[in-house]
Amino acid sequence: MAKWVCTVCNYVYDEEVGDPDGGIAPGTRFEDIPDDWVCPLCGVGKDQFEQQ
């Protein structure tokens, strides 16, 4: 599983952990997150993330 980093605030989305507070279950691939999901720390969209 991959990790994705927000280029604005450096939040790390870990596919193994997901974003339970944001409704994203553990094991959810970044590509499978809904397009309207935003960074839980700074609020930018998925297009501001890079694979680590």
Give tens-digit pLDDT for 7-46: 999 999 999 999 999 999 999 999 999 999 999 999 999 9
> Alpha carbon of 25 to those of 7, 8, 16, 20: distances in Å?
22, 23, 9, 6
Please check if 13 is assigned to a binding site.
no
Paired with 25 in beta bridges are none
What pLDDT is recorded for position 14? 98
Please check if 39 is assigned to a binding site.
yes
Please check if 1 is assigned to a binding site.
no
What is the CATH classification number for the domain harbouring 45?
2.20.28.10
What pLDDT is recorded for position 28? 98
What counts of helices (H) and strands (E) characterise the chain? 0, 3
pTM over the 0.75 mark: yes
Domain of 26 in residue numbering reads as: 3-51
Please check if 6 is assigned to a binding site.
yes
Count of structural domains, the chain = 1
* Share above pLDDT 70 across residues of the chain, in percent, rounded to a whole number: 100
